[in-house]
Chains A and B, each alone.
Chain A
Amino acid sequence: MTMAHAGRWRIDRIPGRLRFLALVAAYLALVAMCLATLAAEGELSMGRNPWTNLVKSVGEFSRPSFFDLWFGERKLEYRSDDGTLLRVENRREVEAKFIASLGEATWTTIRIATLGSLLGALIALPLGMLAARNLAAPRPLAWAAKGVLDVTRAIHTLVFGLVLVGIVGLGPTAGILAIALHSMGTYGKFYAESIETLDMNAVEAVRAVGASPLQVFFNAVWPSVLPQFVSSHLYVWEYNIRDSTILGLIGAGGLGLLIAEATALFQWGRLATILLVVIVLVSVFDAMSRRIRQALL
């Protein structure tokens, strides 16, 4: 080994290297254990005809229901076994009504996400300030604030939604509160981080000219954290749009409700339409939020 190579295996570097390899080995062992035990319990199966099912589903999805708006039959007849006319449907009208309800559901989803995000942001603001380490809040308060933020982040929005539907009833209110309670944790974390990365030197320099605490806040703290707060709000709002789309599954209204209906009635064409709307909604919001955030920073 040349001297250069010998350098890489110097005594004081070996413990770090071994530690890393040991962690990788432990991780691989865990993965192996997961696979092995699931296989042993017989839970890794893919059903009886995965490929046939896949092909069938793809086929059903590739004919989204909104095609019927233009290509649907205007006079679809439903007859019973002996030929009696049961019902006549105008597919185009039926699908047009569905699209209208889809629009309304999208609007409800947006409303749930927006109000829920704002509520979560407002509740999290004092909690985030308490949890920030450099503002030196009294220890028990800071600890309690951090605890509340961690717990609410751990509980999924859907779980909050289920509980809230039992408290405030079905409808968007439960959705708004569920979004607020879950995203409060993320907001608080972002706020605390923004405050912790505050340039305390600048704060001190403003104090050095004899500024009062309020002056210090508005002149040194606020200009630094406000853009970060707005950026965090946009980020979490976009996440909440995605979260809100399925809240309807538990009765909070919006797109989730339509998804639940379409799935229950095996209307894959309609499900395809709804999913397309969800994808467009989330993408548009994502792009908008990213643009604004870039302009801010």
Chain B
Amino acid sequence: MTAPRHIVEIDGLVCQVRGRTMLEIDRLSIAGGERIAIVGPNGAGKSTLLRTLSGFMLPARGAARVLGRPIGTRSRSRDLRRLRSEVGHVMQGLHLVQRLSAIENVLIGALGRLAGWRSWTRCYGARDVADAESALRDVGMLAKADERADRLSGGERQKVAIARMLMQRPKLILADEPTASLDPLAAAEICGLLAAAAQGATLITVVHNPSLLPMLADRVLGLKRGRVAFDLPLAELDDQRLSSLYRPDAQSVLPVLAGRTDQPTEPSR
């Protein structure tokens, strides 16, 4: 039996934004089917890492290979677009087109596969519409398929975003703080949906709330100041490691994590 192909391989990656180094990872490998959580204080480079993996950000130095496709300093936008159509990136915050209905937003997930005038006039084929409806059913939003996106609640919008991601049938799912600004019940629901969607695919989630980790991950990556602080299986993670990650050094003023059983206080942005 051949070894599982690595979904993500990072080699000497350095990402900079406006001259500041946001991310510096020497070596990282993620195999297919793994479920990984990324934790760390704000500004640690978690979102930067996800954006690099989905081809939104070109590295300043080094290279990465995602789903067998190379990402380097000179990658072309056409190749990055093809990569993005295979990577399901659920972003944090409002990211639905407000004026379109839920089902139209879900159908946008198919755009990576379609081309031509049909995708400009939002005139989708019957097969795509059926897929969209089944995706909405999977997340429990079929009843509100024709509601305009700006009339849905935060949790409902997040579900529609996940349905849109399901349309892509991605092999790699990146979820950037999918439960931010959701109440605990909705947060648990969303995590359950993500875990279900990740069957047979690789899931990388950025989370702040350690109590959600068991639902989403087998392996935890801790980032601090753009570098990997630790890379452990979930079972080996303990309070001390986590709180040392969030503990302020001389320069930063982040509050200390009280412990895994309490909700961590979110530092104000």
A contact residues vs B (CB 8 Å cutoff): 199, 201-202, 204-212, 214-215, 218-220, 223-224, 227
Take A207-B84, A210-B81 as given contacts and tell me if A223 and B119 are in contact as well, using a CB distance cutoff of 8 Å: no
B137 at the interface (CB under 8 A from A): no
B122 at the interface (CB under 8 A from A): yes
B115 near A208 (CB under 8 angstroms)?
Answer: no
Most buried by B among A199, A207, A210: A210
> In the complex, what distance in Å separates the CA atom of A224 from the CA atom of B94?
14
Given contacts A206-B97, A212-B115, A215-B111, 16 further A-B contacts (CB under 8 A): A202-B95, A205-B91, A206-B108, A208-B87, A208-B89, A208-B91, A209-B85, A209-B110, A210-B168, A211-B81, A211-B119, A218-B120, A218-B122, A219-B119, A220-B108, A224-B97
Q: Which residues of B contact A210 (CB under 8 A)?
A: 81-86, 111-112, 168
30 contacts between A and B (CB under 8 A): A199-B94, A199-B98, A201-B93, A202-B95, A202-B97, A202-B98, A204-B95, A206-B108, A208-B91, A209-B84, A209-B111, A209-B168, A210-B81, A210-B83, A210-B84, A210-B85, A210-B111, A211-B111, A212-B115, A215-B114, A218-B120, A219-B108, A219-B120, A219-B122, A220-B97, A220-B108, A223-B97, A224-B97, A224-B99, A227-B99
B96 at the interface (CB under 8 A from A): yes
B103 CB, nearest partner CB in chain A, Å: 13
Considering the complex, give the chain B residue whose CB is closest to the CB of A219.
B108
> In the complex, what distance in Å separates the CA atom of A204 from the CA atom of B91?
9
Chain B residues within 8 Å of chain A by Cβ, number: 35
B109 at the interface (CB under 8 A from A): yes
Considering the complex, give the chain B residue whose CB is closest to the CB of A208.
B89
Q: Which residues of A contact B161 (CB under 8 A)?
A: 205
> In the complex, what distance in Å separates the CA atom of A210 from the CA atom of B164?
12
Interface of A is mostly: helix
A189 CB, nearest partner CB in chain B, Å: 22
> In the complex, what distance in Å separates the CA atom of A218 from the CA atom of B99?
13
Q: Which residues of B contact A220 (CB under 8 A)?
A: 97, 108
B 140-170 contacts with A by CB, 8 A: 161, 164, 167-168
Most buried by B among A212, A214, A227: A212
Q: Which residues of B contact A199 (CB under 8 A)?
A: 94, 97-98
Q: Which residues of A contact B115 (CB under 8 A)?
A: 212
> In the complex, what distance in Å separates the CA atom of A224 from the CA atom of B150?
12
B 67-94 contacts with A by CB, 8 A: 81-89, 91, 93-94
B112 near A209 (CB under 8 angstroms)?
Answer: yes
Most buried by A among B82, B93, B94, B120: B120
Q: Which residues of A contact B121 (CB under 8 A)?
A: 218
Q: Which residues of A contact B205 (CB under 8 A)?
A: none
